[in-house]
Chain A
Amino acid sequence: MTDPNSELRKGLAAIWQKSLPRVTEQIATLEAIAAALAGGQLDEEQMRTGEREAHRLAGSLGTFGFHEGTRIARELETLMSSGTSPDPAFVSSLVNELRKSIASEI
């Protein structure tokens, strides 16, 4: 008889592997946005994109066990939805931390 917990773990691992290209793309988007912010060239649409991708990552990474990733993504989402231009160095550092938080998987 299959143990449900074991089946769940295997299933999660398989879904995570399928998710990796999308997650990699989302982090790359955030890295591009951080670079644009640092260069003083970030427009409102890009900020909304950043907010949206950070929100999506915040809502999904923890489900796969990457709780630190969720925490960092949530912080990025908050910064990008604040209505004021966030500190570029801080955003860059957070995006770096986000990538590191799942570095073993990418």
Chain B
Amino acid sequence: MSKTILVIDDEDNVREVTSMSLEVMGGWQTLTASSGAEGIEIAKREKPDAILLDVMMPGMDGPTTFRALQQDEATRTIPVLLLTAKVQAADRARFADLGVAGVISKPFDPAVLPTDVSTALGWS
């Protein structure tokens, strides 16, 4: 059965490219959300196999959204990969300390994103 990934990002084009990459190159199904709050609601309802979560979003940013997902029994076991354009070592260390499953750098190569996701999540 195909896996389902929830993509949470406030930028329309990022959501579209990410979804397309995961569907076309990864063969997965995707759900999308344009905000942390919307993403949490979808995650609770749909129980995706993984979440790709943008770091910089207005309102609830990525780390805040991640903490909310962790605090809810319905979503705490869903692995989360952060999507970020931040390259400074201090930022990366802060993200790693959150307890996410991994961090995907932006900009990413849409041809290999599914491979990077599989590797980060330990999917064969």
Residues of A within 8 A of B (CB): 4-5, 7-8, 11-12, 15-16, 18-19, 22, 52, 55-56, 58-64, 67, 70, 74
Q: Does more than half of chain B's interface fall in helix, strand or loop, or is it mixed?
A: loop
Q: Are A63 and B111 in contact, CB atoms less than 8 angstroms apart? A: no
* Cα separation A12 to B109 with both chains bound (whole Å): 11
* Cα separation A18 to B15 with both chains bound (whole Å): 13
Most buried by B among A56, A62, A63: A63
1/0 contact string of B1-44 vs chain A (CB within 8 Å): 00000000001111011001100110000000000000000000
Q: Which of B13, B20, B21 contacts A60 (CB 8 A)?
A: B13
B111 and chain A: residue at smallest CB distance: A8
* Cα separation A63 to B108 with both chains bound (whole Å): 5
